[in-house]
Chains A and B, each alone.
Chain A
Amino acid sequence: MRREVKQMFARPLYMFASAGVMLLSTFFFLTLMKQGAAEKMPVAVVDLDQSSISRRLCHEMQATPSVDIRLTTNSYPEAREAMQQGHIYGIFVIPEGFYSDLVAFKRPNVDFYVTNAYTVGGNTAYKQMLTMVNLISGAFQREVLRKKGLPDDVIMHRIQPVAIEGHMIANPWGNYSIYLVSTILPGILGLICIILTIFAIGFELKMRTSHDWLRTAGGNYTVAMIGKLIPYTLVYIILGIGCHLILYRFAGFPVNGSHARLMFGLLLFIFAMEAMGIFLIGCLPTLRDAISIGALYSMLGFSLSGFTYPVMNMLPAVQALSYLEPLRHYYLIYVNEALMGAPVENSLVPAFSLCAFMVASLMVAPRLHRALVYQNYPLK
């Protein structure tokens, strides 16, 4: 172990790299999504009517928090081109004669177009335009009813006899940052763990210094392994706790369950990623191959954990694959603890699954031990 600490400090690059990458990503993702919810998405209005009511409509739309009218034009092709250039996410078309048709009860048709090539922008623009169309309709009904001499509060209930109250559990602001960053950052930490673990062991193999390493440990594989990994593990734990504190204390992400259990889940996840690192280098004792596979494996974890696209909706074979990713299990613990405030039983299965990854690292022990002793592997 002492030897490893010395080695670790002799090559400060790795520690610097891991802590640096972690800090940089934390800083990057927290500042990137500082605003949380998508606001002021640019849209275009094609105003073919040019009446007082269409202009008022534009004003009201501009006053809403989620859209920003970047372009007011009377040519649809112009708006369409702006969309193809990525300047706007939605087009709202007010037809010619809108106002006169409306008062003549001729039911003028309003069109709106959104792009799905950019999901978040398109969705936000869509929701807002849908609300706007219903508001137009409501405003017009109000005018008609007023002329019939009805009081305003009576009118209001006529216009909207049913209302939906939406409750977004644990994230009432619909904050994107909470939703994405709380899985991405642990994922990056896990990626660092797996790569550095592979590196720490693989470097001995690459440099053919494994005999020296084993000798220091008195020829005992277990002692050698534990001694080697303790200093790294300490660093990961510090990074993990730091990551937890930054997200849930400083950035103020909600935790409805227990902080301790969530943090414990993160630590188990870190150990599982380390164990997978040992497993990979044990299977593939060539440093560069193991690192490439480790990188591929941990990158897929982000998609397979299901925090953007639900696992429930994946093909059955892919669903099965998702259980091979520690990040999936951490995400389940996170949903239970941070979002749902679920009882501890719910987190037991993912927690035990994370422990199962550690067993995988024991399975390769004989093979890895042989590799350390005989150095019988290709160097390249």
Chain B
Amino acid sequence: MNLQILNKIRDTWWVFTEELKRIFRDPGVTVIFVVATLAYPFLYKAIYWREQITDIPVAVVDMSRTPESREFLHRWNAAPDIRLAYTCASMAEAEKLLRDQKVHGIIYFPHDYADQLADPLGQAHISLYCDMSSFLYMKGIYLSCNQVMLESMRNIQVDRYEKMGMGKEFAWTLVQDAPYSETALFTPTGGYGSFLIPAVLVLILHQTLFFGICMLGGTAREENKQLFRLPGHRRGYSVLRIILGRSAAYFVLYYALAAVLLVGLPRLFDIPHIGNPCDILKLMVPYLLATIFFSMSVSVFIRNRESGMVLLISSSLIFLFIAGISWPKEMIPAAWRYLSYIIPYTSGAHAFIHINSMGASLWTTRAEYYTLWILTGAYFFTACALLFITGWWTEHKAKKAA
């Protein structure tokens, strides 16, 4: 009895070492598993190097030409987000600059801007035109202009109240009757890279594993190696040992990579990393296992190394969006949202962002953590079942042929 168990363990060990050898003997897979996994984060960090969008060029059309409008522009120009690049005599001129992409916004003061401000009953209007080719332009231009507008507005209000005979102090109290303070929690810089890179790091782990395992599966198919069979066993019914051995090989390799990517790189890249590294490492156990078994289940359907490549590649974009990170999950139609839970990336990415970027504990984000364990169990079962069926089917065909 003991000998039998020992034999099984020895078999698993053999599969494990054999799989590691297979990974490192296949340059294509090594490139995906190791080189791509380590190089991609640096590429993305290089692209999103600057966190804030600064100095967005804006054109000014000032028909009022008064100290009031100039003061507004002066204050706005001090904002880091924008840069008053051109002063135009007419709207047509500014529109041409916008069309030529020399500027990404236009601010327009009408003739009566100062008059309306001087009139105690007047309301002055400022028109702001934003280039919508990137939402970040709009955000930078609109929010910074709004800030200046609120500030100027308070000064004007105080002036007007004073003219009504209120004391200056009282006027200020009235204008700022409910002052506010705004705080960006967890990620004070709030840059685009701080938001996107954590999600991309988790996706890189998911997709390189997914590609690599599918490639190995495809190659084995091409070379007619039977992944469901242990040598020396007549019938290919040693599914459990094979799945355990192979997944252990991927797991050991990826656990090291995950530690580098998810614990090391945020520190190196200086993106938010306020989470507890132990919690991240604990989270990685079910995340990697679920991804490995998910990929092994899918790889059964991959017939040769290159086919299905297109499908696999475009899956990256779909996984990224369906997870509800760049597009809020509340806005995703229910059907897609439920579907997204079967992809390990969804829960893995959210849990990692909760811990790493928002300082949650593993217990706080337990919903995602348990989901990952459930996925691990489910995909372990499907991987075993599919391998068993493939094995049975191949033997069946071989028998028929004989």
Interface residues in chain A, defined as those with a beta carbon under 8 Å from any beta carbon in chain B: 13-14, 17-18, 20-21, 25, 28-29, 31-35, 38-42, 68, 80-81, 83-86, 89, 91, 98, 102, 105, 107-124, 126-127, 129-130, 133-134, 136-137, 140-141, 144, 154, 156-171, 174, 176, 179-180, 184, 188, 191-192, 195-196, 199, 202-203, 287-289, 291-292, 295-296, 298-300, 302-304, 306-310, 312-315, 317-318, 331-332, 335-336, 339-343, 346, 380
**Structural contact, B330 and A17, CB atoms closer than 8 A:** no
| B residues near A191, Cβ cutoff 8 Å | 310, 313-314
**Structural contact, A166 and B313, CB atoms closer than 8 A:** no
**Structural contact, A165 and B358, CB atoms closer than 8 A:** no
State A343–B101 Cα separation when bound (angstroms).
12
The answer to whether B268 has its CB under 8 Å from any CB of chain A is no
**Structural contact, B32 and A118, CB atoms closer than 8 A:** no
The answer to whether B43 has its CB under 8 Å from any CB of chain A is yes
**Known contacts A126-B182, A133-B180: does B133 contact A339 (CB below 8 Å)?**
yes
Could you list some 20 contacts between A and B, CB below 8 A?
A17-B310, A81-B364, A107-B176, A111-B181, A158-B157, A160-B153, A162-B126, A165-B126, A168-B130, A196-B310, A288-B305, A303-B47, A307-B134, A308-B136, A309-B47, A310-B134, A315-B46, A317-B46, A318-B49, A380-B26
| A residues near B364, Cβ cutoff 8 Å | 81, 84-85
| A residues near B122, Cβ cutoff 8 Å | 157, 161
**Known contacts A160-B153, A163-B124: does B322 contact A310 (CB below 8 Å)?**
no
Interface residues in chain B, defined as those with a beta carbon under 8 Å from any beta carbon in chain A: 26-28, 31-32, 36, 43-44, 46-50, 53-54, 56, 98-101, 116-117, 120-139, 142-143, 145-146, 149-150, 152-153, 156-157, 160-161, 170, 173-187, 189-192, 194-196, 198, 215, 272, 305-311, 313-314, 316-318, 321-322, 325-333, 336, 350, 353-354, 357-360, 364-365, 367
Q: In the complex, what residue of chain B is closest to A111 when comparing beta carbons?
A: B181
Q: Least Cβ distance of B141 to chain A in Å?
A: 9
**Structural contact, A111 and B183, CB atoms closer than 8 A:** yes
The residue from A122, A162, A342 contacting B152, defined by CB atoms under 8 A apart:
A162
**Structural contact, A346 and B100, CB atoms closer than 8 A:** yes
**Structural contact, B133 and A299, CB atoms closer than 8 A:** no
For the complex with contacts A118-B325, A169-B132, 20 further pairs of A-B residues with Cβ separation under 8 Å are: A25-B318, A84-B359, A85-B367, A86-B329, A105-B177, A116-B187, A117-B186, A117-B198, A133-B178, A159-B157, A161-B116, A161-B117, A162-B123, A165-B125, A165-B128, A191-B313, A195-B309, A298-B313, A308-B135, A310-B53
The residue from A84, A120, A159 contacting B328, defined by CB atoms under 8 A apart:
A120
The residue from A42, A203, A313 contacting B330, defined by CB atoms under 8 A apart:
A42
**Structural contact, A116 and B184, CB atoms closer than 8 A:** yes
The residue from A38, A165, A380 contacting B127, defined by CB atoms under 8 A apart:
A165
- Interface of chain A, helix or strand or loop or mixed? helix
The residue from B153, B181, B358 contacting A117, defined by CB atoms under 8 A apart:
B358
**Known contacts A108-B178, A111-B183, A196-B310: does B328 contact A307 (CB below 8 Å)?**
no
Most chain B C-beta atoms within 10 Å of own C-beta, residue among A25, A41, A111, A292: A292
**Structural contact, A309 and B149, CB atoms closer than 8 A:** no
| A residues near B54, Cβ cutoff 8 Å | 313
Q: Least Cβ distance of B344 to chain A in Å?
A: 17
| B residues near A170, Cβ cutoff 8 Å | 132
Sorted nearest first, the 8 A-B pairs with minimum C-beta distance are A116-B190, A84-B360, A171-B132, A117-B357, A342-B99, A121-B328, A116-B187, A133-B180
State A120–B139 Cα separation when bound (angstroms).
11
Q: In the complex, what residue of chain B is closest to A290 when comparing beta carbons?
A: B306
**Structural contact, A314 and B44, CB atoms closer than 8 A:** no
State A195–B178 Cα separation when bound (angstroms).
59
| A residues near B100, Cβ cutoff 8 Å | 342, 346
**Structural contact, B333 and A34, CB atoms closer than 8 A:** yes
**Structural contact, A134 and B313, CB atoms closer than 8 A:** no
**Structural contact, A117 and B322, CB atoms closer than 8 A:** no
**Structural contact, B128 and A86, CB atoms closer than 8 A:** no
The residue from A40, A184, A314, A340 contacting B99, defined by CB atoms under 8 A apart:
A340
The residue from A83, A119, A157, A312 contacting B192, defined by CB atoms under 8 A apart:
A119
Q: Least Cβ distance of A300 to chain B in Å?
A: 7
The residue from A29, A85, A114, A162 contacting B184, defined by CB atoms under 8 A apart:
A114
**Structural contact, B185 and A296, CB atoms closer than 8 A:** no
**Structural contact, B183 and A113, CB atoms closer than 8 A:** yes
**Known contacts A110-B179, A161-B160: does B173 contact A105 (CB below 8 Å)?**
yes
**Structural contact, B308 and A287, CB atoms closer than 8 A:** no
Q: Least Cβ distance of A101 to chain B in Å?
A: 9
**Structural contact, B353 and A117, CB atoms closer than 8 A:** yes
**Structural contact, B28 and A292, CB atoms closer than 8 A:** yes
Q: Least Cβ distance of B129 to chain A in Å?
A: 5
Q: In the complex, what residue of chain A is closest to B48 when comparing beta carbons?
A: A309
Q: In the complex, what residue of chain A is closest to B366 when comparing beta carbons?
A: A85
State A122–B316 Cα separation when bound (angstroms).
24
**Structural contact, B28 and A289, CB atoms closer than 8 A:** yes
**Structural contact, B195 and A118, CB atoms closer than 8 A:** yes
**Known contacts A25-B318, A81-B364, A107-B178: does B309 contact A169 (CB below 8 Å)?**
no
State A25–B321 Cα separation when bound (angstroms).
11
**Structural contact, A107 and B179, CB atoms closer than 8 A:** yes
Q: Least Cβ distance of A328 to chain B in Å?
A: 12
Q: Least Cβ distance of A197 to chain B in Å?
A: 11
**Structural contact, A292 and B32, CB atoms closer than 8 A:** yes
Q: In the complex, what residue of chain A is closest to B147 when comparing beta carbons?
A: A130
Q: In the complex, what residue of chain A is closest to B46 when comparing beta carbons?
A: A318
| A residues near B183, Cβ cutoff 8 Å | 111-114
Q: In the complex, what residue of chain B is closest to A331 when comparing beta carbons?
A: B133
| A residues near B123, Cβ cutoff 8 Å | 156-157, 160-163
State A120–B187 Cα separation when bound (angstroms).
14
**Structural contact, A85 and B365, CB atoms closer than 8 A:** yes
The residue from B44, B121, B130, B150 contacting A157, defined by CB atoms under 8 A apart:
B121
**Known contacts A167-B127, A195-B313, A342-B100: does B176 contact A307 (CB below 8 Å)?**
no
**Structural contact, B327 and A32, CB atoms closer than 8 A:** yes
**Structural contact, B360 and A300, CB atoms closer than 8 A:** no
**Known contacts A29-B321, A32-B327, A107-B178: does B130 contact A166 (CB below 8 Å)?**
yes
The residue from B44, B129, B187, B331 contacting A38, defined by CB atoms under 8 A apart:
B331
**Structural contact, B53 and A313, CB atoms closer than 8 A:** yes
**Structural contact, A314 and B49, CB atoms closer than 8 A:** yes
| A residues near B130, Cβ cutoff 8 Å | 166-169
The residue from A122, A313, A346 contacting B50, defined by CB atoms under 8 A apart:
A313
**Structural contact, A112 and B180, CB atoms closer than 8 A:** yes
**Structural contact, B358 and A84, CB atoms closer than 8 A:** yes
The residue from A21, A303, A315 contacting B310, defined by CB atoms under 8 A apart:
A21
State A116–B183 Cα separation when bound (angstroms).
10
| B residues near A81, Cβ cutoff 8 Å | 360, 364
Q: In the complex, what residue of chain B is closest to A342 when comparing beta carbons?
A: B99
Q: Least Cβ distance of B142 to chain A in Å?
A: 6
Q: In the complex, what residue of chain A is closest to B50 when comparing beta carbons?
A: A313
State A39–B327 Cα separation when bound (angstroms).
11
**Structural contact, B307 and A13, CB atoms closer than 8 A:** yes
The residue from A40, A137, A166, A202 contacting B142, defined by CB atoms under 8 A apart:
A166
State A154–B329 Cα separation when bound (angstroms).
43
Q: Least Cβ distance of B203 to chain A in Å?
A: 11
